Chain A
Amino acid sequence: MPSSSDSRAADPRDLGGPIQPLLKVRGLVKHFSVRGGAGKRRVVRAVDGIDFEVRKGETLGVVGESGCGKSTTARLLMQLIKLDAGELIFDAATVGGQQLPLREFRRQVQMVFQDSYSSLNPRMTIEQSVAFGPRVHGVGRRESMARARSLLDRVGLDPQRFGGRYPHELSGGQRQRVNIARALALEPRLVILDEAVSALDKSVEAQVLNLLDDLKRSMALTYVFISHDLHVVRYVSDRILVMYLGEVIEIGPAEALFERSAHPYTVALLGSMPSLDPDQRTEAPPLVGDPPSPIDPPSGCRFHTRCPYAEPLCAEQKPPFAELDEGHRAACWMVVPGSQHSQAAKAQCVDA
């Protein structure tokens, strides 16, 4: 999607300027303690030390198998759950610090979930739902309602016809539009979309994706877009981040990531997309079995138990993030120039 730098130039909220990432994530960790067998406590390493940036005006796609930590990451970015370690820097200010108290941060970051039903209060009309956020943040009643109506209009729901309806009186696609309107009511700068279109029929999904594109341009938004649908992620994202068992294993521009995937897991994940051409069906599954449990994840490179290129080194040492190209990085020993991996020579040499 084209960048919205024009509208941003005039944005008084933009403190750090265009080069400063909107959000910097450093060493983010979240472990959950769960009851294992025989009453023993075990630790789920849901998010295990991740770093990345969200650039101003971009759409950052996030992909990975179920349970790899995408939603946990989203909830950490929203500060819906407490971080065990790490920090978030929003437009040069530390989140929760003096410059940017949590309450102020929460206005600027909003989230849309997959389940359009349970995220709306069944006893409120959709107009009231959309007006609720501004009300809580001290906007007057009349002003909040006016804002709600104009937002409903913007997401393609005629406020005259729909404003007084309750959530159960809408279709799934219409409810998801309400959720989007509600997320935008506080004029956020960052919107996190966690499987926001996944429950919709394809034709409705297309409508909502077009809407998200329009809103992004007109409201100078930045998106973090989580989805298991790789076709959709490729279509909407400027850059894509790939997660595996609580870690980021590759990040890069969307086209580079699809055309020149570096990490064997990314290759396998993308190779799992069903082919739309019956004459070129997928012959063999790129991966067998399910991902291992995030309780006691494998040592070294966490992918080594399923990786066709795994060597002893991979089980012993965690590979560092190596840069392949401008902004395209992967955590695999094969990409690290001069590593002990027998295929390392194939990687482009970065340093002399």
Chain B
Amino acid sequence: MSDLQPAAMVETRGLKVRFEQAGKRIEAVNGVDLSVSRGEALALIGESGSGKSVTLRALMRLHPERSTRIEGQIEIEGRELMAMSRGELSRLRGGEVAMIFQEPLLALDPVYTVGQQIVEGLRRHRGLSRSEARARALEALKSVRIPSPESRLDAYPHEMSGGMRQRAMIALALSCHPKLLLADEPTTALDATVQIQILILLRELRRELGLALIFVTHDIAAAAEVADRVAVMYGGRIVEMAPVRELLRAPRHPYTIALLASRPDGGLAKGKRLETIPGSPPDLAALPPGCAFAPRCRHAMAICSSQLPPSERIDSEHLVACHWAMGRSDADPYTQPRQEERMDR
């Protein structure tokens, strides 16, 4: 980002999320630092269970308070989320911060029409009159390019196709003009033809409305269509973060490198074997003290299993958490980072 970077829309420092479950402690998110400015789109990618959704839900304090422990700081426009009262929280949710999910039927209420649901939100969050709210709801449906929006206002969710429902949910999320949109795999369940429409829609809305976007996906190509920056998660940590071009062209973390190589993309010659990552994802109830990727990493060294690799800058916008990428070795564990100074945190 430039020097004139405005205050972050959302920023987390040392975010940790733990679940207590049947006597076990699941360490789902383990120190996530991220910052997204106004109008910026960040994609969170990683395999299932890596903590993408848990991170996203923490940004809206959606986790059950009783069984969840959240540590670290979360700031929304400079305000501490964990210190907010119930009233402040409910103004925030659906007002300044909105969320969309993979399955729109979970977000939409089956017994109300799409119009009623949008109107209800607008009256609650924006105090609009019924007719003002209805006009705004129509505008929201138009903004997500739903065909014949007037008639869709009075349609029930089950009367719509998957792509239409996904648009209706985005319209609901955007109707109160949020500043931050959290999207959890919003296109995973859709056909390619509908997926690209939604991806382009998100890109355009971001430009038109200056919306900040955090976009969770397991598909790097979807991230490449929408995101400015990409953060790769593994074992509840961000192991690499860079502008999308840089991440695709010069990945530095062994996990990112392996993830990119395992994709059967157009360029791949037929009959060529796909790269695979041996082993399985880490047990979040028993994370090792060092790098969580070590048991599967082809570059793992002794220090990897004893010392947690810190997140370090490779250049001004490229962060990586890996001893190997920073040029360390067992013989020389204290070699300074190859290019830049350590990030001071």
Contacts and interface: CB of A to CB of B under 8 A. Distances in A.
Nearest to B49: A201
A2 B270 CA distance: 9
A215 interface: no
A227 B164 CA distance: 22
A285 interface: yes
Interface in B242-285: 244-245, 248, 258-259, 262-266, 268, 270-271, 273-277, 280
A278 B244 contact: yes
B92 interface: no
B137 to A, nearest CB: 21
Contacts of A234: 264, 266
A203 B47 CA distance: 8
Nearest to A68: B191
A277 B220 CA distance: 10
Contact of B200 (A66, A203, A258, A282): A282
A285 B192 contact: no
Interface residues of B, number: 44
A241 to B, nearest CB: 16
B161 interface: yes
Contact of B47 (A201, A274, A291): A201
A171 B280 CA distance: 9
Contacts of A284: 200
A182 B200 CA distance: 42
Given A1-B271, A203-B47, A275-B225, A65 B193 contact: yes
Nearest to B263: A202
Interface in A1-15: 1-2
B200 A285 contact: yes
A274 B222 contact: yes
A206 B262 contact: yes
Contacts of B244: 278
B163 A290 contact: yes
A272 interface: yes
Contacts of A352: none
Interface string A139-165: 000000000000000000000000000
Contact of A203 (B162, B193, B203, B262): B262
B218 A230 contact: no
A320 B264 CA distance: 34
Contacts, number: 120
A269 B258 CA distance: 28
A198 B339 CA distance: 40
B48 A201 contact: yes
Given A276-B248, A289-B147, A235 B270 contact: yes
Contacts of A202: 47, 218-219, 259, 262-263
Contact of A206 (B196, B264, B271): B264
B297 interface: no
Given A2-B271, A235-B270, A278 B218 contact: no
Contacts of B245: 278-279
Most buried by B among A204, A283, A285, A291: A285
B192 A228 contact: yes
Contact of B219 (A207, A274, A282): A274
Contacts of A288: 145, 147, 197
Contacts of A290: 161-164, 194
Interface in B109-164: 145, 147, 161-164
Contacts of B147: 288-289
Contacts of B222: 274
B88 to A, nearest CB: 37
21 contacts: A1-B270, A201-B47, A202-B263, A205-B262, A206-B275, A228-B192, A231-B264, A258-B266, A272-B193, A274-B195, A274-B224, A276-B265, A278-B225, A278-B248, A281-B203, A282-B200, A285-B193, A285-B197, A286-B196, A288-B147, A290-B161
Given A203-B262, A272-B196, 12 more contacts: A205-B262, A206-B263, A232-B264, A236-B264, A272-B195, A274-B196, A274-B224, A276-B224, A278-B248, A284-B200, A286-B196, A289-B147
Interface of B: 47-48, 145, 147, 161-164, 191-197, 199-200, 203, 218-222, 224-225, 244-245, 248, 258-259, 262-266, 268, 270-271, 273-277, 280
Interface of A: 1-2, 65-66, 171, 201-207, 209-210, 213, 228, 230-232, 234-236, 254, 258, 268-269, 272-279, 281-291
